[in-house]
Structure 1
Amino acid sequence: MGRVGTIARRTFVVGSVAILGGVAFGYYQYKRPAKNPLLDRLADGEAALTPYVLINAEGITLITPRADMGQGSYSVQAALIAEELDVELDQIRVDPGPPSKAYYNTALANDAVPFPSTDQSMAANAMRGTVDAIMKFMGMQLTGGSTTVPDGYEKLRVAGAVARETLKAAAAQQSRLAVSQLKTERGAVVLPDGERIPYRALAAAAAQIDPVTDVTLRPSTQWRLVGKPMQRVDMVRKSTGSQSYGIDLRMEGMVHAAIRLNPRKGGEVVSYDATTAETMRGVEHVIPVTGGVGVIADNTWRAFQAVDAIDIEWGPAPYPAAQDEHWQALADTLDTANPDGQPRDDGDMDAVTATIQAEYRAPYLAHAPLEPLNATVLVTAARVDVWTGNQIPRMSQASVAKMTGVSVEDVHVHILMMGGSFGHRLEDEVVKRCTELAMALPGTPVKLTYKREEDTAQDYTRPIALMRGRGAVEDGKVAAMEIRVASPSVLDSQMGERQGLGLPGPDSTITQALWDQPYAIPHYRITGYRAPKLAPVSSWRSVGASQNAFFHENFLNALIHSAGADPVEERLRLMTDLPSRKVLEAVAEMSDWGGSSGANKARGVAFSLSFGTPVAEVIEISNTENGITLDKVWVAAEVGRVVDPTNFENLVQGGVVWGLGHAINSQITYADGGAEQENFFDFEGLRNYQAPEIFVRGLENRDYVTGIGEPPVPPAAPALAEAIFQATGERPTEMPFANRFTFV
């Protein structure tokens, strides 16, 4: 790696493009370091050597601003810093830090440009750099899009190196030795005679000198942590049940709240009668909030009981009341609407006579994390404090400031460990509703916990989607494929309804993982259609790729079958991206593709490139007299660098189980304007006895790094669909598959 001060080619292009485009920022502003937010809250003897490293007499704290929802992001961020800081993971504490522009996400630009991730040309990287600069000036602190590792891979190691060299400089002043004579090891500067000066003993001195920013990152041959199996920093706490989550928070003087919102999301409250609730044991207040009613009580259970006792008349839903009407809205959109975008149109699809046509459906899906939504808010005249699990801390900070009239600087958002999210905590409705309740009780910390049923009813789900495809084959090859997909807009729902912003152009999530697949099909068209606003929707693990890979790969498998070709060989023939080819070749080798699977067994394969990460999966099933069993899954993925092989394997396995479980069992449907499903009993995941054995291989054939939290999800459903077709002769066209097939 080069020096921090070196102008990289990509950075230079960023500055040039920004100036030529008339954007009001330049190279100097883009490269200028953000203000270190830790400096505003330093105690005596503490040193914040970078925004990511805090040292005092008690020890070392590493700031890990990408939220941890169970995916291990605190550990991987800490490891990247620790690698260059020369500390071990058992020597440090982690803290998500305060909301700050300094923690803007540098990797969000990759999916925000009209170039496929496989395009690493100067023009593509220039636009990514320009978008990155905009993200920096906006201070876009967000966890999502599988960006934790690509965002932090270099800058967190740089932060560790800067802190290390600054501590060495402080030790050099103290010992009157040259910096070149000093080494670092296990949280200490080591002098030539072997004397060790702990970092914590150098904190006060280091705080008085300018950080040493002219640093060089170590080559991978010298790494101690990165690329090697690690024990996560939360392993002991989670194994012993001592890990604290937002739902566990307790404070002196806290009161507890429950809430009921209109199950017809966005509908109003016509009237309510809280006479019975107000007389129930432990109830202190009944408070109206936007779209519903809240109860304040002396514990959560009593608040739950009381809020259910309120007689409420709800207003109608601002969207179709019945599920069939939602599907009809999508069909009408495909029939009559102008395209929202057509990001791919190769060849001349209009001249093709289609020989194969198909229609596929994907349902609404809830996030349903194990930890229901919760937040605690304390409002005073001088400041507001918010404690919650959250993926958008600066947005929530701004929302609370607007609601309370307190300045943004005086809204303090404390991010807590989350028991799952899958995109759920990209919404901050729970923070807003809790703030409303806390504003009615200034000086009192109010903890709001959603009942599981309320969490499900109010979830901003994955959008419903309808796809129509047509294609043709020639001489045993796929010659043409057109996909038209209609869906409500995730970005319009998020930006318009919750953030008060307009969506200036097409919603890229509608065609995500469709247009940018690395296939050279001669006639190849992808068109997205934005449906009218239906039920409110949001990002769900792998966003548009979760349904679009099912559409794309399922239909591609149908075309390949019609051509009489092998699903792996035909994909390899069509594939234009070498790392993607290697992924497909790897999964074929892992699964012994082409070999005998045995009696009553069948296999399916699918590939998807999402969030910059190509993933291929082969699924083997058995077709028994009692139904279909999932036997084995082989997965290969290319991420450029596997930071922690253990966590990588776990994330891939979890993504496969997540994708399969929802493809088989799950849907949210609407009746009378409200979600019909309430809890895990009618929104099932994959059962333990249904889970297959999963084999994982991470490839490192690229010189840039991408994430793995979401990309294993999209190929799971189409690979299973193909295996089902091979076993039964029937191709699944609609999820959940259990509506049509039996699984045991």
Structure 2
Amino acid sequence: MSTNNISRRNFLRATGITGAALCLGFSFSSNGKEPEVIGAAIADGVIELNAWIRIDTDGKVTLVDHRAEMGQGSYQSVPQILAEELEVNLNDVNIVFAPGNKEKYGNQITGGSSTIRGSYKNLLKLGATARNMLITAAAAKWGAPATECYAESGNVIHRPSGKKFHYGELVADASKLEPPKDVTLKQKSEYKLIRKPLHRQDTPLKTNGTAGFGLDKKLPGMMYAAVVRNPRLRGKVKSFDDTAALKVPGVKRVFKVRMGVFKTFREGVAVVADSTWAALQGKKALRVEWDDTGFEHLDSAEIFKRQQEKLHTEDGLILKKVGDPDAILQNAVNKLDVVYQTPYQSHSAMEPVNCVAHYQQDKLEIWGPIQAPEWVQEYISEQLGWPKEKVTVNMTFLGGGFGRKAFMDYPHEAAMISKEIAAPVQVIWTREDDATQGPYRPGITYRCQGVIKDGNISAAKFAMAGQNNDHWRSGKTNQANRSTSEGFLKPYFDTIKNISFAEVQFETPIPTMWWRSVYASTNGFAYESFLDELAHAAGKDPLDLRRQYLNDERCQRLIDKMEEVSGWKSRKKNEGYGCAITECFSSTVGQIVKVSRNTDGKIRIDKVWAVMDCGWYVNPDIIKAQVEGSIVMALGAATIHEITFKDGLVEQRNFYDYKMPRINDIPPTEVYIMENDADAGGVGEPGLPAFAPALTNAIFDLTGKRIRKLPFDIAAV
């Protein structure tokens, strides 16, 4: 473990801690062992600042959130876990974001719905360790056995006498103790905070205006920049005329800049001014000529045509294979062979991308809405040829992220502009920048083949053609996309005796990356829709078919719950019911959608039931909010918006042509959480993939029309 030494005075100033304090954190080893709880000593000499829990002599408790807060609830959930075992009232603590530092805080990448599932055991242990040390210190003061003492609401209480010390009175003694190696964690039945629908600590901050987002960050002498970027990723700046831009009051400089986009760069021209308004007006006045030679400028129709052609002419790279589905398909007289298609999508977070950077001779500091501080730190230090310790990355609140803000391009661009002007700078992206620059969820075409024999699935074969996000990062193209089967439940591989998944490789110059639930958002539509087709061909109830092949206790219980809450077995005429079950980041979600026709004959979504099995969980209200939000996002991607290309250029620019679902589009939704003793799974993304196939399967149930291409106009069905 490497640590940075800072002065006691600066540490106390930064944290607000006065005098002695108890600070606990982790020591992360490089050999994959479990992290150990360590004390971060505060003395006149050295301070090892890796603390997640800090308690000062006034009893002030500071809890550190090591992950980004972009609406998914880590600002609430991480402290809620710590406070449970620490025995403090969550309303009485101060919550701060950790700076980017993998050595001190472990993996800080907010993605893959990993915040709780990747950290909760360590966080529980950390809170319990702090409580144990405080109880030990109190017991020593009283000369009593520690077994006679307990902690509650920030106090240690002596059970026989009723005497108590608040935590602040104990930190001086507790900070001298060696953290115990083993501590006993609470049973679920003892939880006071965990599994309770507590109000989120960030809600008041976001409603009273005190929450600090990227755009709120201000530095002395800070300049503002807006950038005209090449609308085609691989294009170059041929020339530019800044005459009119420099005449805009407040504009100070105009110059060429480029930002890293994985293994390539996007070029543009930066307009730097003394205000955001001046920078944006200067950007409008700038004239740039681009060199877009040397690569294809594709239309959307051509992209999907090529994908479909490749699926019918190439076998692709096999990711998973059980049995011999090819032989069965080759000899089958009757087989299903269909194509599904999902479009490119923008992340369209409500907060457009922005970043503040301050480059100095031997260090760089960054502030902004950032999902992956360690990636930013590593990438920029590599580009600068610096040790990563010279690059500090600070997280602010994010107004949505969905994967977009785990990218390194916009912090790198801000850093390069700050370096050029030798001053701190805030780089502002407009909604049009966000929509037209990408990166996007890749558009994908699927070929699904299957054979039904004696009412059972004899063979199933899936192949996908779409951009592989891993290629941008690693450059490796000799292995199948590791996410080819993402979303498809593991028990199927035990019960469907002949099944395979393959990737037919497909590339374009269009920048793509992760989008909420990543490939499960597209795979789920194709695979769960095709399972519905197989059920229909077998003459079986779609949910019964899933029950037959999901021969797993948790899946069976989930299906029981789906049937119970939706009234699946008592469906009526003129009502369409569709189901889908997907797995995403170690959580399984089943959804049932009910549709019918209005008096004017148009399809309406009457209700959605969602059942989530995420194992161990923290806050049921956050889970319900995340599933509801996922369904809203899935509804938009299925029926309303898409990114399209003409001559290699994005055709959508803002919410007037990349429309969002409105409140009157949102169906009534009920969310149920399964109770079990399994390890924690993800929450922020798994609620999305099952919605689109459940919806289109419901429409088929009502109308007999099979929808295989998204988005579709639900009013025209």
TM over 0.5: yes
Does the CA-based 8 Å contact 1:344-1:515 persist in structure 2?
A: no
Which residue number corresponds to residue 340 of structure 1?
317
Letter aligned with residue 148 of structure 1: T
Does the CA-based 8 Å contact 1:345-1:526 persist in structure 2?
A: no
**What is the rounded CA distance, in whole Å, between the counterparts of 1:340 and 1:719 in structure 2?**
29
Letter aligned with residue 348 of structure 2: A
Which residue number corresponds to residue 262 of structure 2?
none
**What is the rounded CA distance, in whole Å, between the counterparts of 2:492 and 2:34 in structure 1?**
37
Instruction: Give the secondary structure class of the aligned counterpart of 1:151.
Output: coil
Question: Once structures 1 and 2 are overlaid, which stretch shifts more, 26-35 or 182-191?
Answer: 26-35
Letter aligned with residue 200 of structure 1: G
Does the CA-based 8 Å contact 2:319-2:480 persist in structure 1?
A: no
Out of 13, 30, 33, the residue aligned to residue 31 of structure 1 is 33
Which residue number corresponds to residue 67 of structure 1?
68
Which residue number corresponds to residue 289 of structure 1?
257
CA deviations 1:466-500 (Å, max 9, x no partner) are 1111222233333332211111111112344xxxx
**What is the rounded CA distance, in whole Å, between the counterparts of 1:71 and 1:340 in structure 2?**
35
Instruction: Give the secondary structure class of the aligned counterpart of 1:387.
Output: strand
CA deviations 1:333-358 (Å, max 9, x no partner) are 32444523331333443223142221
**What is the rounded CA distance, in whole Å, between the counterparts of 1:563 and 1:348 in structure 2?**
17
Which residue number corresponds to residue 310 of structure 1?
286
Q: 1:338 to 1:574 in 2, by over 3 A?
A: closer
Does the CA-based 8 Å contact 1:80-1:156 persist in structure 2?
A: yes
Q: How does 1:365-380 map to 2 (within 5 A)?
A: 365-380=345-360
Q: 1:288 to 1:240 in 2, by over 3 A?
A: same
Q: How does 1:513-552 map to 2 (within 5 A)?
A: 513-514=487-488, 516=490, 518=492, 520-552=495-527
Question: Once structures 1 and 2 are overlaid, which stretch shifts more, 652-661 or 161-170?
Answer: 161-170
In the alignment, structure 1 residue 325 sits paired with structure 2 residue 273: no
Letter aligned with residue 143 of structure 1: T
Which residue number corresponds to residue 14 of structure 2?
none
Out of 629, 634, 646, the residue aligned to residue 671 of structure 1 is 646
Q: How does 1:217-228 map to 2 (within 5 A)?
A: 217-228=185-196
Residue 401 of structure 1 and its aligned partner are, at CA, apart by: 2.0
Letter aligned with residue 214 of structure 1: D
**What is the rounded CA distance, in whole Å, between the counterparts of 2:527 and 2:33 in structure 1?**
40
**What is the rounded CA distance, in whole Å, between the counterparts of 2:97 and 2:577 in structure 1?**
43
Residue 238 of structure 1 and its aligned partner are, at CA, apart by: 2.3
Q: How does 1:2-401 map to 2 (within 5 A)?
A: 29-31=31-33, 33=35, 39=40, 51-57=51-57, 59-102=60-103, 140-192=107-159, 193-290=161-258, 291-316=267-292, 318-337=295-314, 339-352=316-329, 353=332, 354-401=334-381
Which residue number corresponds to residue 661 of structure 2?
686
Does the CA-based 8 Å contact 2:319-2:503 persist in structure 1?
A: yes
Residue 246 of structure 1 and its aligned partner are, at CA, apart by: 1.1
Instruction: Give the secondary structure class of the aligned counterpart of 2:465.
Output: strand
Taking only aligned residues, the RMSD between alpha carbons, in angstroms, comes to 2.6
Residue 103 of structure 1 and its aligned partner are, at CA, apart by: 6.1
Which residue number corresponds to residue 711 of structure 1?
686
Letter aligned with residue 180 of structure 1: T
Which residue number corresponds to residue 455 of structure 1?
434
**What is the rounded CA distance, in whole Å, between the counterparts of 1:35 and 1:272 in structure 2?**
56
**What is the rounded CA distance, in whole Å, between the counterparts of 1:643 and 1:566 in structure 2?**
35
**What is the rounded CA distance, in whole Å, between the counterparts of 1:495 and 1:509 in structure 2?**
15
**What is the rounded CA distance, in whole Å, between the counterparts of 2:272 and 2:163 in structure 1?**
59
**What is the rounded CA distance, in whole Å, between the counterparts of 1:275 and 1:648 in structure 2?**
53
Scaled by the length of structure 1, the TM-score of the pair is 0.86
CA deviations 1:575-621 (Å, max 9, x no partner) are 2222112212211111100323454x311111112222121111011
In the alignment, structure 1 residue 413 sits paired with structure 2 residue 393: yes
**What is the rounded CA distance, in whole Å, between the counterparts of 2:537 and 2:470 in structure 1?**
37
The percent identity for this pair of structures is 30
**What is the rounded CA distance, in whole Å, between the counterparts of 1:664 and 1:45 in structure 2?**
62
Runs of 4+ in 1 over 6 A off after TM superposition: 43-50
Letter aligned with residue 312 of structure 1: V
Q: 1:181 to 1:675 in 2, by over 3 A?
A: same
Q: 1:709 to 1:482 in 2, by over 3 A?
A: same
CA deviations 1:128-165 (Å, max 9, x no partner) are xxxxxxxxxxx543111111121122110001011112
Scaled by the length of structure 2, the TM-score of the pair is 0.89
Letter aligned with residue 611 of structure 1: F
Does the CA-based 8 Å contact 2:325-2:460 persist in structure 1?
A: no
Q: 1:336 to 1:478 in 2, by over 3 A?
A: closer
Question: Once structures 1 and 2 are overlaid, which stretch shifts more, 725-734 or 272-281?
Answer: 725-734
Does the CA-based 8 Å contact 1:228-1:643 persist in structure 2?
A: yes
Q: How does 1:578-589 map to 2 (within 5 A)?
A: 578-589=553-564
Instruction: Give the secondary structure class of the aligned counterpart of 1:718.
Output: helix
Letter aligned with residue 545 of structure 2: E
Letter aligned with residue 634 of structure 1: W
Q: 1:589 to 1:47 in 2, by over 3 A?
A: farther
**What is the rounded CA distance, in whole Å, between the counterparts of 1:50 and 1:213 in structure 2?**
18
CA deviations 1:169-214 (Å, max 9, x no partner) are 3334444444333321112222454343332343344333322332
In the alignment, structure 1 residue 635 sits paired with structure 2 residue 610: yes
**What is the rounded CA distance, in whole Å, between the counterparts of 1:99 and 1:504 in structure 2?**
33
**What is the rounded CA distance, in whole Å, between the counterparts of 1:32 and 1:581 in structure 2?**
33
Q: 1:28 to 1:173 in 2, by over 3 A?
A: farther
**What is the rounded CA distance, in whole Å, between the counterparts of 1:257 and 1:208 in structure 2?**
49
Which residue number corresponds to residue 486 of structure 2?
512
Does the CA-based 8 Å contact 2:580-2:592 persist in structure 1?
A: yes
Does the CA-based 8 Å contact 1:49-1:207 persist in structure 2?
A: no
**What is the rounded CA distance, in whole Å, between the counterparts of 2:388 and 2:447 in structure 1?**
47
**What is the rounded CA distance, in whole Å, between the counterparts of 1:447 and 1:573 in structure 2?**
56
Report how many residues are paired: 674
Q: 1:182 to 1:152 in 2, by over 3 A?
A: same
Does the CA-based 8 Å contact 1:163-1:212 persist in structure 2?
A: no
Which residue number corresponds to residue 122 of structure 1?
none
Residue 425 of structure 1 and its aligned partner are, at CA, apart by: 0.9
In the alignment, structure 1 residue 655 sits paired with structure 2 residue 630: yes
**What is the rounded CA distance, in whole Å, between the counterparts of 2:34 and 2:584 in structure 1?**
32
Residue 277 of structure 1 and its aligned partner are, at CA, apart by: 0.4
CA deviations 1:500-520 (Å, max 9, x no partner) are xx4674321233224736362
Instruction: Give the secondary structure class of the aligned counterpart of 2:570.
Output: coil
Gaps of 5+ in 2: 1-27, 259-266
CA deviations 1:409-444 (Å, max 9, x no partner) are 1221111110001111111211000001100122x2
Q: 1:597 to 1:424 in 2, by over 3 A?
A: farther
Residue 635 of structure 1 and its aligned partner are, at CA, apart by: 0.8
Residue 456 of structure 1 and its aligned partner are, at CA, apart by: 1.3
Which residue number corresponds to residue 737 of structure 1?
712
